[in-house]
A and B are shown apart, each in its own frame.
Chain A
Amino acid sequence: MLKSDSRPGARCWLISIALGLAVAAHAATPEFEIEIRNHLFEPDVLVIPAHTKVKLIVFNRDPTPEEFESFELNREKVIMGGSKAIIFIGPLPPGEYPFFGEFNPATALGRIVVQDDGDAG
């Protein structure tokens, strides 16, 4: 009796661990998307949480290549025309981090705003 009583408890426990792990794994790297269209970033301002690594997916909708570049973020990546690029960013302290398209720096400008959870919204 004791055995069968403890089993659902254990199963419940396991399921909640599994769920917790799945949530944690998902929450570990939140994903954000940016598009490049007509040599412009869309959106050009992206808010991400502080002290958290995030996965940035940049879609280049233009036929021409672009290079995502940021001195402040220490990131640099060529994105061929009509393709997407994955760039991991952070963890970063709160602040503003400009980025630009090196091949079209006059128009392709944007910034990433890193905020503490409390400041968001």
Chain B
Amino acid sequence: MLVNSVIIVLREVLEATLMISVLLAVSRPLQLASRWLAAGLALGLVGAAAYGYFLGPVSNLFDGVGQELVNALLQFGTYAALLLIVFLIARQGSQPYRNSRVLPTAMSTAIALAAAREGSEILVFVTGFLHMDNFMPSVGLGSFAGAAIGCSIGVLFYYFLLAMPVRRTLRIALALLALAAAGMSAQATRLLIQADWISVAGPLWDSSGFIAEDSLPGQLLYALVGYEATPSATEALVYTASIALMALSIFLGFRAAGQVPTRVQ
């Protein structure tokens, strides 16, 4: 039970922690106060509690696929927030960001949506064992350890990103956010397939012999770029289109930065 709890919580928090690390690393050169993180996490926790509490009735909506639809909506929402975030970061360059509240609000939104989705699952898992006294200590301890490992990986990743020159940090952050966001939109598509809202023809390829999804590199790649060993053509197409759209957003941001006259110095 102990190891199981560690793995479950670690898997759930990893995706959010890596996204938080990248956004925090970007906030440094932009001199963005990290209030957005506290706001996003607080909002996400409230969302997770509400979603976890009502998961039963929500699952029964839409002929029993309410859970898939809500999760897909949260994933697509995170994608949309990240689409705006990469544009604003690219437009900003490495100049301090003092223009508006749009970027921090978009960051809070992305974190809140991700935390609500992943947090609700952790909550359902932990509360499911509440009335079994003998299980509770190991579940509590394991969940804490899982969350701690996830946060440690996030902290390491944060300092790894900040150890580079600012321009490179920003470029790598933009690339990582684009890949992570595309992974989320592919996951959302997979949920719509699971709900039978989208029909597919079967897997396009099978790379599980190369990198298995349940292996350590598979799990890390899943959290980072949404790795999937047996995607359908639809998922591959959505993933590619999502990356293209992110790239376009980044390009437009860079172009806007080039065209906008130099700010007051």
**Of A64, A75, A93, A106, most B-chain CB atoms within 10 Å:** A64
Q: Does A102 contact B (CB under 8 A)?
A: yes
Q: Say yes or no: B194 contacts A87, CB within 8 Å.
A: yes
Q: Which residues of chain A are near B133, meaning CB under 8 Å?
A: none
A63 to B8 alpha-carbon distance, docked (Å): 20
One digit per residue, 1 when the CB lies within 8 angstroms of any chain B CB and 0 when it does not, for chain A 62-81 equals 01110100011011111111
Name A55's closest neighbour in chain B (CB-CB): B196
Cross-interface CB contact of A91 among B67, B129, B132, B202, cutoff 8 Å? B202
Q: Which residues of chain B are near A105, meaning CB under 8 Å?
A: 4
Q: Does A53 contact B (CB under 8 A)?
A: yes
Q: Which residues of chain A are near B202, meaning CB under 8 Å?
A: 51, 90-93
Q: Is the interface of A mostly helix, strand, loop or mixed?
A: loop
Name B231's closest neighbour in chain A (CB-CB): A74
Q: Say yes or no: A88 contacts B212, CB within 8 Å.
A: no
Q: Which residues of chain B are near A77, meaning CB under 8 Å?
A: 67-68, 194
Q: Say yes or no: B64 contacts A84, CB within 8 Å.
A: yes
Q: Does B220 contact A (CB under 8 A)?
A: no
A53 to B124 alpha-carbon distance, docked (Å): 29
Q: Does A16 contact B (CB under 8 A)?
A: no
Partner-binding segment picked from B55-63, B177-185, B239-247:
B55-63
A65 to B59 alpha-carbon distance, docked (Å): 13
Q: Which residues of chain B are near A76, meaning CB under 8 Å?
A: 194
* Known contacts A77-B194, A92-B202, A93-B202; A106 and B4 CB within 8 A of each other: yes
Which residues of B line the A interface, CB within 8 A?
4, 8, 55-56, 59-60, 63-65, 67-68, 121, 124-125, 128-129, 131-132, 190, 193-196, 199-203, 208, 212-214, 228-231
Which residues of A line the B interface, CB within 8 A?
29, 51, 53, 55, 63-65, 67, 71-72, 74-81, 83-88, 90-93, 102-106
